[in-house]
Amino acid sequence: MTRLIIPGTPVRHMAADGFSLGGFLWRHGKPDTCRALVIINAATSVRCRYYSRFADYLFAQGCDVLTYDYRGIGESRPATLRGFKASWSDWGRLDFEAMLKYAAQAFPGQPIDVVGHSFGGCAVGLAASAGQVRRLVLVGAQYAYWRDYAVGQRWRLFGKWHVLMPLLTRCLGYFPGKRLGWLEDTPAGVALDWSHRTPRYEQRPSARAMRSLHFGDVGGSILAVSITDDPFGTVAATERLLGYFDNAQRLHLRLAPEDVGVEEIGHFAFFHDRFRERLWPIALRWLFQGELAPDTPGRPVSPYAE
């Protein structure tokens, strides 16, 4: 008889290079190959605890759920970040890959779905086992290419993330995001990847470079949700990322705050508990059925960028 695991149970799993990653598991007591395991990939330097209520919701609706922190963050933070080696590439190639392997071992026969927030969507395409993903929900997903930032805020964001962040990082040996109230403290390699004009695994934002990774291995269905008041997840940024998943079925849903009767949503609030009734069912239906309900708020835009 399978032991019942309490929702939100701490778990640890080793990446291929031996680094121990911490997270939390929501698992139903009886295995069921019809039940999806949903892995939640966090945004850059956002702790996995931020997504706990969303994980509770998915679990209550019948999913098993796994959240985890990338190396250097939250449950996976070392004693000191000074001199700690980590990059965006490591977060996908090693850390998300480790979660996919853990899922295949611990949940044999169950479909694997992913919810990727911001960089968490990019992380999927960096993992060698990305082809295992059945369905993918992206929220504000992009890779911080500064030319894709919202026009009215582009230069302010450029100064914050591409000038001040690398300056502080080089001075301190890590980015003190928590002290500034911006993010969690962040490994230097990750902060410098972000502050580069394009990620270090891609010196130019070309489809050819991205497809040489594992984006093209994903053959399932993808829903990308972008929010009109999210300065990072613009139409250009969202479609640029979707274009790299060139073997998947893709849909881009563009939502405005007024579509759900609020003044703002921005880059983070999709996962706030106040949207349990208005936004979370969009992700749930896609994970369950790979489609939108007829009364889904927002409007579809072009499915990907050439």
Q: Is residue 57 part of a domain?
A: yes
Structural domain count of the chain: 1
Q: Is residue 83 part of a domain?
A: yes
Q: Which of 114, 120, 116, 113 is CA-nearest to residue 138?
A: 116
Q: Is residue 193 part of a domain?
A: no
Q: Is residue 242 part of a domain?
A: yes
The model's pLDDT over 65-113, given as tens digits with 9 standing for 90+, comes to 999 999 999 999 999 999 999 999 999 999 999 999 999 999 999 999 9
Give the CATH number for residue 128.
3.40.50.1820
- List of residues 6+ apart from 304 with CB closer than 8 A: 239, 242, 243, 245, 246, 250, 252
Q: Is residue 164 part of a domain?
A: no
State the residue range of the domain holding 297.
9-146+206-301
Q: Is residue 107 part of a domain?
A: yes
Q: Is residue 119 part of a domain?
A: yes
pLDDT at 6: 65
- Token reading at 199: 């990620």
pLDDT at 196: 80
Q: Is residue 155 part of a domain?
A: no
Q: pTM higher than 0.75 for the full model?
A: yes
CA distance 46 to 175: 13
Output the tens digit of pLDDT for each of the chain's 306 residues. 344 556 789 999 999 999 999 999 999 988 899 999 999 999 999 999 999 999 999 999 999 999 999 999 999 999 999 999 999 999 999 999 999 999 999 999 999 999 999 999 999 999 999 999 999 999 999 988 999 999 999 999 999 999 999 999 999 999 999 999 999 999 999 999 998 855 444 444 445 555 558 999 999 999 999 999 999 999 999 999 999 999 999 999 999 999 999 999 999 999 999 999 999 999 999 999 999 999 999 999 876 544
